Amino acid sequence: MSSVIVMNLIVIVLFYFYNILNIFAILPIMYANIESILDKVVQSHTLCEKEILYLLETKDTKKLFSAADEIRKKYSGDEVHLRALIEFSNYCKQNCLYCGLRRDNSHVTRYRVEPQDIIESARKAKNYGYKTIVLQSGEDSYYTVERMAKIISGIKDFDFVVTLSIGEKTFEEYKAYRDAGADRYLLRIETTDETLYNKLNPGMSLKNRMLCIENIKKLGYEVGSGIIAGLPGQTLESIAKDIVYLKSIPVDMAGIGPFIYHPDTPIENIKGDFFELSLKIITILRLLMPDINIPATTAMDTLNKEGRLIALQSGANVIMPSITETIYRKYYEIYPGKVCLGATPADCRYCIENKIKSINRRISTGKGFHIRQSGL
Ligand code: SAM
Ligand code: SF4
């Protein structure tokens, strides 16, 4: 037999075995049902991408949400951690197509809060019993490493845990913030679909976003990441991959928010139930990572006035009430319809407390670090 025929035979045999193996991989999913997948994930906290996809597609959401609520209760208990959010600048050098703060949006009135005033807002938050301050902004070069270090150490003087959410930086910058006392960093991956990420975030790249998250992890921060659910062009298959990615880091905190169209952005306005999609993602993350912190994000309240409470009953255990001074709130318009724009930091604190009590949960008095109860 000539060597060409032998090679062809080998290729045919390999192709045959490859298909057989694939059929065996798909069979369990074809015969899976919600009960068997939930049984598996509740026992092992693992799922393959196809099983995640099955849960993302399921109409049987009641079982999914209540399984996540039980896991949340078992591993995180009934306490809700509050993180006080200061949105201190809406200047941004980036141009993400979905975001109202993007550089090219000329309709925004831009503002910056001076370092001393940021520290003063944090000091006042002590009186409301907050243990964590989250500093969030667009990517604003006004806040040099020195200025940020001054803000962080000034806030640490009040014995706060400090979380930063100020975008992509170099390793050295992340290190300087960490040296100044920052404890946690939130940087959503937004989507792991590289083509989509690069299209929606001009001038940025998925590779660099992932590198930033790796660097944050290396420096010993608690890592927060997450995605926007419902981005135009996003598929459920790509969301399943996002979930696998978040588990692979693994994150200490996962923030999921529905996409909300902003009319002053160039992105397409697509319709869809991104509230339910976000809830499904939250529940799957809770089932896969039983003891991480998962916020009920403010964007959930924009789509449903009880949105954050529903998220708290579907796996979430964190709320981030705004303590941004009222004068600035309407200008931090990432998306329209943000709740509590006219409220003061005190209003937000008491409103949240009442909401949490209304579902028989209580506000945590601890610092709310990620405690690995599940051994994962
Ligand atoms: N500039 C920092 C960054 O991008 O990481 C932090 C601030 S940015 C406003 C915080 C988050 O807002 C982003 O990570 C993104 O997920 C979310 N966001 C932006 N535009 C949004 C929209 N139209 N709908 C929902 N979430 C949006
Ligand atoms: Fe800037 Fe963040 Fe908005 Fe992107 S998502 S434009 S980086 S504020």
Amino acid at 70: E
Print the domain residue range for 2: 1-31
Spatial separation of the C-alpha atoms in residues 150 and 317, rounded to whole Å: 31
Ligand 1 mean position to 261 CA, how many Å? 12
Q: Please check whether residues 88 and 152 belong to one and the same domain.
A: yes
Q: Please check whether residues 80 and 14 belong to one and the same domain.
A: no
Ligand 2 mutation pick, 94, 187, 189, max ligand atoms within 8 A of CB = 94
Residue 110 lies in a domain: yes
Q: Please check whether residues 27 and 174 belong to one and the same domain.
A: no
Residue 127 lies in a domain: yes
Q: Please check whether residues 23 and 76 belong to one and the same domain.
A: no
Q: Please check whether residues 128 and 250 belong to one and the same domain.
A: yes
Q: Please check whether residues 328 and 212 belong to one and the same domain.
A: yes
Residue listed under structure tokens 């499904």: 280
163-172 burial code (b ≥16 CB/10 A, e <16): bbbbbbbeee
pTM across the whole model: 0.93
Spatial separation of the C-alpha atoms in residues 55 and 301, rounded to whole Å: 23
Ligand 2 mutation pick, 101, 105, 333, 334, max ligand atoms within 8 A of CB = 101
What is the total count of domains within the chain? 2
Residue 368 lies in a domain: no
Q: Please check whether residues 219 and 357 belong to one and the same domain.
A: yes
Residue 49 lies in a domain: no
Q: Please check whether residues 7 and 130 belong to one and the same domain.
A: no
Q: Please check whether residues 5 and 134 belong to one and the same domain.
A: no
Instruction: Tally the C-alpha atoms within 13 A of residue 3's C-alpha that lie toward its C-beta.
Output: 0
Per-residue model confidence as pLDDT tens for the chain (376 residues) = 566 677 777 767 766 665 555 555 555 565 579 999 999 999 999 999 999 999 999 999 999 999 999 999 999 999 999 999 999 999 999 999 999 999 999 999 999 999 999 999 999 999 999 999 999 999 999 999 999 999 999 999 999 999 999 999 999 999 999 999 999 999 999 999 999 999 999 999 999 999 999 999 999 999 999 999 999 999 999 999 999 999 999 999 999 999 999 999 999 998 888 999 999 999 999 999 999 999 999 999 999 999 999 999 999 999 999 999 999 999 999 999 999 999 999 999 999 999 999 999 999 999 999 999 887 7
What single DSSP character describes residue 221?
P
Helix (H) or strand (E) holding 139: none
CA-nearest of 310, 281, 313, 295 to 252 is 295
CATH number of the domain that residue 332 is part of: 3.20.20.70
User: Which bound ligand lies closest to the C-alpha atom of 224?
Assistant: 1
